[in-house]
Structure 1
């Protein structure tokens, strides 16, 4: 089983319109509501692929039951911790030229008892059940210290589970010291964590090696449209997956992590699965997550011959 921890989940509302006019009434051509949050998206993708998954998350306010209900409709086992704050709602506006504008809510502030209850919920999932992976995903809400993921990683390692961490900033730096089995930064998060510019594939490789030296067993670095990079002591691989039409990149990195974990969580085969899932996700609307029918693994290319001099877009 794979357990996902999402300490700051969300409802994701997506509006598609021809053009966003500031200061005017805008009428959407379509609207959709999806369960959101990095770990939630990982759980949705894994469940669609047939993996047994539990999503652990705090829920509160009127948005909480709606989010839980949406997950249950997708067949996901949900372990919820009631909190007094309101679960956040994020809004994405997609214009006709595929420009995305996002408004992300900060979410509730968790109390010390609520934070302890989240840890207890994870312990309950491990009781009497073999857990292969714990994926700790997303930003930490107010009330949780930067070392909270690191503490959680240390606790579950003693129970034999492998750990994945997808976060940024101080929380990522703190987690490295707990030696997670994989961390999944994007380009900006990788540059921030390594304290260096990432302008080429070679820069990304050196930055990822720095994170490995700091404690990560593997670094799965998302480089946007340029591809993905997997770096560990056993080797390094670079891969690409072309996308014909980008509808929304919300959750694409989460789908990539799900593909990686579902394919074993190590080596070039898992990297190829990550690329296929990420490419499929950007072709779907809103925060929709890909299922097996959406994947096109034949378009994926993975190589151990890293194109170190290749510049990255943007």
Structure 2
């Protein structure tokens, strides 16, 4: 089972329009609304690829109840902690003329300490039943970045392997807690490591992860840096750098990184040592996501077809 942890979820809405004209009324050609936030996007991708998924989520208000119902409707188990206020809404406007999305992300309401503690308890409980616990995205307002490390510690102490996908100080705190896997995009990796090139950033990220795990007596983990249309660079426990890419492009990139992580963990849970296969599956899901409106709202058959077309090679450091 995969436990997908989402500390700062949202109702994600996508409007597809022919062109954005400032100051004018727009009538969307398509509208997609899904439970969102990076963790829930990853959960939906893993579930689409037949993984058993437990969504661990911090919810609030009427929007939170809609999120919980929609997740169950997608065939997931849900363990929710509840906070005062309302779960936020995020809007993506996909301009078909330019091919460029414009995104609006609500801040959301502050999370009081009691609600966060209840959520952290649920993360530990998920670690008892899940093979992998994936913790993704931002932390809610009112919660310090250091709390990302707490979630890693709680899940690992329960016996699960832990993957993280964060940014900035939240990423630094999670990495210091020595997860088994870290997956970030190129800008996030460069921001943390200071490295210029993508390969250098992936290697520096892996070195930091190895140091954190070594300090706890743990073996090396996996560091992955996604690079948009250039695919992804993965440094495995053996220290070998692999580059993977797939020859497909789409106009809806929002959620591709999350779909990558969900598919990666779904494969890793079934075949723990097959990192080439996991990378191919992740690339296929990411590319399929970009072809369909709505984050992690892709056809599983298309994801598998694209995974079969993924090209993976070793790269010199």
TM-score by length of 1: 0.90
User: Given the alignment of the two structures, is residue 249 of structure 1 paired with residue 250 of structure 2, yes or no?
Assistant: no
**Residues 66-123 of structure 1, C-alpha deviation per residue, up to 9 Å, x if partnerless?**
1112111111111111111211100011112321000011122100000001012223
Aligned pairs for 1:31-180 within 5 A: 31-97=31-97, 98-126=99-127, 130-180=129-179
8 Å CA contact 2:161, 2:179 repeated in 1: yes
| Maintained 8 Å contact 1:211/1:219 | no
Secondary structure at the aligned position of 1:184 is classed as strand
**Match for residue 220 of structure 1?**
224
Q: Deviations over 1:205-240 (max 9, x none)?
A: 444344334536211111111110111340221111
| Alignment CA distance shift 1:191-1:16 (3 Å) | same
State the shift of 1:188 in Å. 0.6
Q: Judge conservation of contact 1:176–1:214 (CA < 8 Å) in 2.
A: no
Aligned 8 A contact 2:149 2:173 in 1? yes
User: How far apart, CA to CA, are the structure 1 residues paired with 2:302 and 2:85?
Assistant: 36
Which SS does the other structure have where 2:235 is aligned? Answer: strand
Match of 2:277, SS?
helix
Between stretches 261-270 and 251-260, larger displacement belongs to: 261-270
Contact 2:194/2:201 (<8 A) preserved: no
In 1, the alpha carbon distance for the partners of 2:178 and 2:68 equals: 31
Gapped regions of structure 2 (runs ≥ 5): 214-220
- Structure 1 gaps of 5+ residues are 309-314
Match of 1:311 in 2: none
Distance apart, 1:25 and its partner CA? 1.7
C-alpha offsets along residues 6-47 of structure 1, whole Å, 9 cap, x if unaligned? 010011111111111112222222212111111111111112
* Residue equivalent to 1:261: 265
Question: How far apart, CA to CA, are the structure 2 residues paired with 1:211 and 1:279?
Answer: 29
The answer for the alignment partner of 2:12 in structure 1 is 12
Shift of 1:276: 1.1
Which runs of structure 1 show a deviation greater than 4 angstroms over 4 or more consecutive aligned residues? none
Distance 1:130 1:124, change over 3 A: closer
Is this contact kept in 1: 2:100–2:251, CA < 8 A?
A: no
- Taking structure 2 as the reference length, the TM-score comes to 0.90
Take 1:215 and 1:250, find their aligned partners in 2: how far apart are those partners?
A: 31
Q: Which has the higher helix share?
A: 2
DSSP-derived class of the 1:263 partner: helix
Quote the Cα distance in structure 2 between the aligned partners of 1:202 and 1:6: 28
Residues 204/292 of structure 1: CA separation in 2 closer, same or farther (3 Å cut): same
CA RMSD, 1 decimal: 1.8
Is the alpha carbon distance of 1:196 and 1:125 closer, same or farther for their aligned partners in structure 2, counting shifts above 3 Å? closer
- Change in Cα spacing, 1:152 to 1:29, as seen in structure 2 (3 Å) is same
